[in-house]
Amino acid sequence: MRAVVYADVRTVAVREVPDATLEAETDALVRITSTALCGTDLHMYDGRTGAEPGLVFGHEPLGVVEQVGSAVQTVRPGTRVVIPTHLFCGTCVMCARGLSAACLRARAEGPGAAYGYAGMGPYRGAQADLLRVPWADANCVPVPGEPGDGYEDDFVLLADAFVTGWHAAATLAGVEPGDTVAVFGAGTIGLLTAYSALIRGARVVYCVDGVDARLDKAGEIGAVPVDFRRGDPVEQIRADRARTGLPLGEEKLGGIDKVVDAVGFQARDRERPEQERPDQVIADAARLVNPAGAIAVAGVYPEKDLHPRPGASASEELVAPWGTLFSKGVSVRFGRTHDRRYTVLLRDLVVSGRARPSVIVTHHGTLADAPELYRSFDRRENGVIKAVLRP
């Protein structure tokens, strides 16, 4: 089968690799119809993780079951399925609590596993013709319709992007009707967090970024774009709050109830935008958040950065403004998405017409287009926000 593999820093290649096969009686083999590129893939692409050359990328699979092992009961060859990024056993104590991204059986070295990711277990990725899916009864989520229909892009986003946005808005930030929300980062995750916050009834959602196409998309989904190239985004949001009129008696609360970091450790330094500053977003979020508010960190922070910026070490401890966070009484929550909690809920919002996350998909290609799409996506060029490969 063909697969997109990591070749070197900022280089992927499309190669022939041995076909994925059934390895256990609980496995399914899925033929991929769509699979997306994710900002998380770029951490590997940029050489910031321990990815070995040859690693097959991809953790956002949608496809059709081709074969099942003898113990699989709920899906059959021909079933159209979406597969959550973090694969899980479905029966360990963490899975039983709905914490599938911390499954205790999927990876020998520790909790949690994912397809196609350095340090997340031996599972090959989904940017390929075929994918082996362990514990198929738990991991294959059926979706209606036919491959290539009008929901193809909505359903592929159920693997990772939409569930992460929903998790960030609903569970990490706890967005409730009437809340004011600000999301740093208008990539796929930031945009779908904003989209989820709006579905949940937020009063206003700001989206901070410095890339035109992404700011435009934020406006298109109903958020208020904030361009950090025009100055301090915290001041811009405070000014907008004051301009639109703060609720009577709440003038002292010039900030935002729920703030989301959808950027992670590769955040741009706003003073020197050609450089990274990993604590940029937490510093801004701490200033912006209202007393007793919440900060949700969905962006990735690795334990080791294999190519730290000049002057920093591989396992640098980031500084967070503890004093500000404590005196404001802010709750801060981190985390990988326990995807499977939300897959069915969000599938059914899509099917009922209440959500169309595909609005953020900008590019399509085949596996052969992956090297060029990765290049543009990595540079945040050519308007690439979310690219979907259709093998």
Ligand X SMILES: NC(=O)c1ccc[n+]([C@@H]2O[C@H](COP(=O)([O-])OP(=O)(O)OC[C@H]3O[C@@H](n4cnc5c(N)ncnc54)[C@H](O)[C@@H]3O)[C@@H](O)[C@H]2O)c1
Binding site for ligand X (CB under 6 A): 38-40, 42-43, 160, 164, 184-190, 208-211, 214, 228, 262-264, 267-268, 270, 280-281, 298-300, 335-337, 380
Cβ closest to Zn ion, residue 50 vs residue 98? 98
**CA–CA gap between residue 329 and residue 335 (Å, rounded):** 20
358 binds Zn ion (CB under 5 A): no
Site for Zn ion in 100-159 (CB under 5 A): 103, 105
95 binds Zn ion (CB under 5 A): yes
Measured from each CB, the residue nearest to Zn ion is: 38
We find the least distance from the C-beta atom of residue 88 to Zn ion, in angstroms, to be 5
**CA–CA gap between residue 100 and residue 139 (Å, rounded):** 10
Residue 210 contact, options ligand X, Zn ion, none, Cβ 5-8 Å cut-off depending on partner type: ligand X
We find the least distance from the C-beta atom of residue 77 to ligand X, in angstroms, to be 30
Rounded to the nearest 10 degrees, how much is the dihedral formed by the CA atoms of 264, 269, 275, 277? -50
Structural contact between residues 333 and 292, judged by C-beta atoms closer than 8 angstroms: no
**CA–CA gap between residue 110 and residue 39 (Å, rounded):** 23
**CA–CA gap between residue 360 and residue 46 (Å, rounded):** 23
List, in sequence order, every residue forming a beta bridge with 34; answer none if it has no partner.
62
Cβ closest to ligand X, residue 132 vs residue 336? 336
**CA–CA gap between residue 129 and residue 113 (Å, rounded):** 21
How many angstroms separate the first and last alpha carbons of the chain? 10
We find the least distance from the C-beta atom of residue 169 to ligand X, in angstroms, to be 12
We find the least distance from the C-beta atom of residue 96 to Zn ion, in angstroms, to be 8
3 binds Zn ion (CB under 5 A): no
We find the least distance from the C-beta atom of residue 66 to ligand X, in angstroms, to be 27
Cβ closest to ligand X, residue 134 vs residue 299? 299
Residue 208 contact, options Zn ion, ligand X, none, Cβ 5-8 Å cut-off depending on partner type: ligand X
Structural contact between residues 210 and 229, judged by C-beta atoms closer than 8 angstroms: yes
